[in-house]
Chain A
Amino acid sequence: MSQTPRLMPRSFAHLSDEAVVALLARSDESALAELYDRFGRVAYGLALRILRDERLAEDAVQEGFLAAWRNADRFIPERGKASTWLLTLVHRRAVDLVRRENRRRAEPLVDGVDSPSSGSAEDDAWLRFERERVQSALKQLPDQQREALELAYYGGFTQSELAERLGEPVGTIKSRMFTGLARLRELLADPRPGEAAWKPTPYTT
């Protein structure tokens, strides 16, 4: 019998997402499990939104997490959050799949419909809060910017396809995407939608 040292049960609760990814880079399986517990559901929701098929969505989530497993050593904390990195990997798999399967559609994002869920009450509450926060920020964008972001991100359309579909020059689509994302960043950075965005301004004399 081999003398495999037994791993101490480890609690990840106190670790940042970035620290969990650092453990992932050392091929620590429990780090992968932890990452799944933190982001599996959001990742699945995203993939399902894009693919509209449960089996394909699970495939995209699986491939995205395995890409993270294989490439965790390439994650650079200075270049962004671990959650963004992971969700980008899942998003890319989902978009690849939806393009390959030719399942793209251009329906707007339906919001305010709570799907039945059997997650923990805390998870449900937190996810609902985040969803409402992002949806509310999206609603504050000019229609054309929101449309460009939604068709690209949830629809899986490339910028060239969008240009053709919307009958606009590619340059226009590019600038809608850029302005939309930049504005979204400002909106999400605000304390909370609905509250006045108040910032102390430095003195000028």
Chain B
Amino acid sequence: MEADALHDLTAAYALNALDAEEARRYEAHLARCERCQRELAELSESAGALAYAAEAPLPSADLRARILDRARAERPNVVPLRPRWLRPVIAAAAVAACAAIGLGLWAVSLSGKLDRREAALARQQRVAQILAQPGSRKISFSRGTLVVGPDGKGALLLNKLAEPGPGRTYEAWVADGGAPQPAGLFAGGTTIAVPLERPVRDGATVLVTEEKAGGTEAPTQTPFLIVRNAAQS
């Protein structure tokens, strides 16, 4: 779609009046278009005001407690230390992307060459196999999810991770009582599935660092992601 036509979608986007495909295209455009970002901020403010025109009866008294209980159950076991996540586009776009990783493993945006594509699909299939097993565990954090099968096979699903620097790679590690052991190399992307090459036992920790291309045998950098494989309470 032409850029002009995409600019024109701002008002409809502010009103949540685009279908899913249109919204996705608009969000991709929005990431690069400062004019639309400014305009959307203004039009969203008007759209938000419309919320106040509706009658506002009281919801049931226990709704507040239900929301807090659910939030507590989701509290992430994660310590982001040195995030190098992509600058979020806008909250709404980020939420859509986040929903994609939560629900649609297959909604991974595949760009570039076919072999990269096939490799990405193969990785997704391995992750899907883990998820399909009964008793697999999902540990959510704000930028993604760690999934671990009952046999300890694990994978990281990450959302909107910037590409590593030139000549660098991301490296995943599993630490299980001792030094972190290498568990796979990967690049950045909008939605990434990283099967871990080492088992992730109960209580083990998964870390990610940025290392020189080809990876290293032990982490040389401070991890920017640390997730513990523990039941979320």
Contacts and interface: CB of A to CB of B under 8 A. Distances in A.
A131 to B, nearest CB: 6
Interface in A132-165: 133-135, 137-138, 149, 152-154, 156-160, 162
B64 interface: yes
Nearest to A110: B55
Contacts of A135: 53
A79 B58 CA distance: 30
Contacts of A171: 8
Contacts of A92: 16, 92, 95
Interface in B44-100: 44-60, 63-64, 66-68, 70-72, 74-76, 88, 90-92, 94-95, 98
A93 B53 CA distance: 18
A174 B8 contact: yes
Nearest to A171: B8
B52 A71 contact: no
Say what secondary structure dominates the interface of chain A. helix
B16 A44 contact: no
A70 interface: yes
Interface residues of B, number: 54
A134 B17 CA distance: 20
Contact of A84 (B17, B44, B53, B63): B44
9 contacts: A44-B57, A62-B67, A79-B90, A81-B45, A88-B16, A135-B53, A153-B16, A180-B11, A188-B46
Interface of A: 27, 29, 32-33, 36-37, 40-46, 48-49, 54, 57-58, 61-62, 65-67, 69-71, 73-76, 79-81, 83-85, 87-92, 95, 109, 111, 113-119, 127, 130-131, 133-135, 137-138, 149, 152-154, 156-160, 162, 171, 173-174, 177-178, 180-182, 184-185, 188
Given A115-B57, A181-B11, 6 more contacts: A44-B56, A54-B60, A69-B74, A74-B91, A153-B50, A159-B12
